[in-house]
Amino acid sequence: MNALRHHYPEYLMEAFGLGLFMVSASIATAVLEHPASLIHQFIADPLARRLMIGITMGLTAIAIIYSPWGKQSGAHLNPVVTLTFFRLGKVKRMDALFYILAQFVGGLLGVLLAAKLLGTSIAHPTVSYIVTIPGAGGTAIAFLAELIISFGIMMMILVVSNTPTLARFTGVFAGLLIATYITLEAPLSGMSMNPARTLASAIPAHNWTALWIYFTAPLLGMLAASEVYVRWKGRKAIRCAKLHHHNTKRCIFRCGYREPMVGNRSQRLSDPLL
């Protein structure tokens, strides 16, 4: 249990990060989709409302990634991101296990907190605890859509975070993709890419519709992206599992990243368990 004793702050940061994301998503959806909301009544176009939700969630993701805690934990906020970096050899087994547990617990606590804040509004069918379920196209379309968007975001993370001139902007690219996906893809699958996010909503909503999609498609999509990247650039091109590494926070991963020297001090803080 050395990992738990030494790395528990990062695990708690992951739980808090996804919990905050779920609170933000719940409030944004209630404000823009509940029929009693004045903003919903003012903005009649569903596409415009999804755009506003997308912008809100994109900015939320960016804020979490660039927050002090996001800089330290790496801001995975998603069990599939953690599993992908584990398969790439950047996350140790016990860290991966505790990250995933923290993400599932944090996501659920976030939705439960949102339910306390929003009351019965979150249970209204137009909000429904922000569940992710297949759209009118059915399960096959939803599965394919989740596969594609998951492939896309993981490929972006690997390409941008391992390109020196772009690495510090990985969080910005992630926020832009999330905003785009919510605006354009959400009608197909609900836009999850994240089994912890989907399960967190499914439990209080008691809605298990096509839950298997949100556990399988994101995993297949992100693992496929990692395989493509490794075949393209090689495994050694992947430096770290953090989305943002231009900071002085410690890194608990198998990190190949090296910050430029500032005076006589390196900005990269090593971890005793590496």
Q: Which two tokens stand for residue 83?
A: 């599993």
What is the pLDDT confidence band of residue 262, given thresholds at 50, 70 and 90?
very low
In the chain, the domains with their CATH numbers are: 2-258 (1.20.1080.10)
Assessment of whether the complete model's pTM goes beyond 0.95 = no
How far is the C-alpha of 73 from the C-alpha of 65, rounded, in Å? 9
pLDDT single digits (tens) 91-124: 999 999 999 999 999 999 999 999 999 999 999 9
Buried b (16+ CB within 10 A) or exposed e, 144-183: bbbbbbbbbbbbbbbbbbbeeeebeebbbbbbbbbbbbbb
195-233: per-residue pLDDT in tens?
999 999 999 999 999 999 999 999 999 999 999 999 999
